Amino acid sequence: MIKITMFSAADSVKGQGVSSVYLELVRLLKTRESDQIALKINKYGRSDISHYHTVNFPFYLSTFMPGRGRKVGFVHFLPETLEGSLKLPKIAKAVFYRYVIAFYKRMDQLVVVNPSFIPKLEAYGISRDKVTYIPNFVSAEMFHPADEESKRALRKQYQYPDKFTILGSGQVQVRKGVFDFIELAKRHPEMQFIWTGGFSFGRITDGYEKLKQVVDNPPANLSFPGIIDRDKLVAYYNMADLFLLPSYNELFPMSVLEAFSTHTPVLLRDLDLYHAIIKGDYAAAKDVDEMDRIISDLSSDPKALLSLQEKAKQAADYYSEERLAKIWLQFYTEQARRG
């Protein structure tokens, strides 16, 4: 039996992907690997493996305590991926960025959800041998597809018009491309746009003032229902004809996997970082004008939309929790052996 302690404060802030990744992994280990893994949360007893999900300072101090076993750090972000997310004073930003890298360097092993970030960690002086790539996943039981009749029923239940619906999801911030999402809603009054998520970090969110104005007074065809409890998010994916994430920077967004799992076609900004993990599974657009053209084409071409839906299904199969359960167990077994 491998003794693992998870250290995380991710679920203290609602509506962020780090929390979703953490909760999915905890659920996976408790339901699928409970006969081989003894799991504790935020307890400072002896452990074979200490797995750190967030970079809270008390967690950093705990790495100097005896009995931590093999220290594993989950790289949910790098300094450059925070640009456009939080508005911090320059000095505070510089100190925090240095601290994040110092935290990662305290680990015996790091886990990244996107292999494209391995060379970026190397640039910070972290050996490639200390980094393992394990992709994200979501529960197929929680995020499941719905048929057309159920889709229409959900729209009626949530009081949305029965017309071509585009969903975006994530924190409301500049980095997520929310301004482009708003612009597309203005260009397509004949469609319904919905963005689930909110200002998880309040006023320090980058672009807060301008974004808050639109969130409070959106165009008639644009809805901001706020931060939705994770067990209710599936309804929004199943209402949608298309999932759109116009983000400028990501690691491996959980929202995309949630869309795949509900067999919702996906449109993303064409970022190099997606190529290593989901290339070919989504429609790609370089800017808002290309997104505009693709949305117009898909809304009028059922065959093209169905083809994109098939790609979502295939991606959901590849990133299944059954496959990832085996990968995580193999990883933890190896770490325990090395520890």
CATH number at residue 7: 3.40.50.2000
What value does the mean pLDDT take over residues 41-48? 93
Neighbours of 127 (CB within 10 A): 9
Instruction: Assess whether 95 and 169 both reside in one domain.
Output: no
In the chain, DSSP finds a helix count (H) and a strand count (E) of: 13, 12
Q: How confident is the model at residue 212 (pLDDT cuts 50, 70, 90)?
A: confident
Give pLDDT, residue 14: 61
What value does the mean pLDDT take over residues 174-178? 90
Instruction: Assess whether 181 and 312 both reside in one domain.
Output: yes
What value does the mean pLDDT take over residues 161-176? 93
Q: What percentage of residues in the chain have a pLDDT greater than 70?
A: 95
Give pLDDT, residue 198: 82
Is 39 domain-assigned? yes
Is 60 exceeded by the pLDDT of residue 162?
yes
Is 80 exceeded by the pLDDT of residue 203?
no
Instruction: Assess whether 128 and 91 both reside in one domain.
Output: yes
Residue 48: domain span = 2-137+320-338
Q: How confident is the model at residue 166 (pLDDT cuts 50, 70, 90)?
A: very high
What is the chain's mean pLDDT, rounded? 91
Instruction: Assess whether 86 and 103 both reside in one domain.
Output: yes
What value does the mean pLDDT take over residues 143-152? 93
Instruction: Assess whether 224 and 106 both reside in one domain.
Output: no
Is 80 exceeded by the pLDDT of residue 33?
yes
Is 80 exceeded by the pLDDT of residue 82?
no
Is 255 domain-assigned? yes
Q: Who's near 270: CB < 8 A, 6+ residues apart? A: 284, 285, 286
For the chain, strand residue ranges (E) read 2-7, 37-41, 49-52, 70-75, 109-112, 131-133, 165-169, 192-196, 222-226, 242-245, 266-269, 283-285
Is 142 domain-assigned? no
Q: What percentage of residues in the chain have a pLDDT greater than 90?
A: 69
Instruction: Assess whether 36 and 99 both reside in one domain.
Output: yes
Choose from 11-15, 144-148, 237-241 the range with maximum mean pLDDT: 237-241
What pTM was computed for the model? 0.83
Instruction: Assess whether 191 and 287 both reside in one domain.
Output: yes
Give pLDDT, residue 87: 66
Give pLDDT, residue 274: 92
Using the Cα atoms of residue 239, residue 319, residue 52 and residue 81 in order, give the sign of their dihedral: negative
Is 204 domain-assigned? yes
Is 70 exceeded by the pLDDT of residue 48?
yes
Q: How confident is the model at residue 328 (pLDDT cuts 50, 70, 90)?
A: very high
Is 60 exceeded by the pLDDT of residue 171?
yes
Give pLDDT, residue 17: 67
Is 300 domain-assigned? yes
Q: Tally the domains of the chain.
A: 2
Is 70 exceeded by the pLDDT of residue 86?
no
Instruction: Assess whether 12 and 122 both reside in one domain.
Output: yes
Instruction: Assess whether 132 and 15 both reside in one domain.
Output: yes
Is 80 exceeded by the pLDDT of residue 205?
no
What value does the mean pLDDT take over residues 251-280? 93
Q: Tokens 């997310």 map to which residue?
A: 85
CA distances from residue 171 to 24, 107, 197, 226, 299 in whole angstroms, order as listed: 19, 28, 5, 9, 26
Phi, psi of 174 (to 5 degrees): -60, -45
Is 261 domain-assigned? yes
Q: What are the structure tokens assigned to 339, written together? A: 């520890």
What value does the mean pLDDT take over residues 185-206? 86
Q: How confident is the model at residue 91 (pLDDT cuts 50, 70, 90)?
A: confident
Instruction: Assess whether 208 and 326 both reside in one domain.
Output: no
Instruction: Assess whether 227 and 88 both reside in one domain.
Output: no
Instruction: Assess whether 95 and 176 both reside in one domain.
Output: no
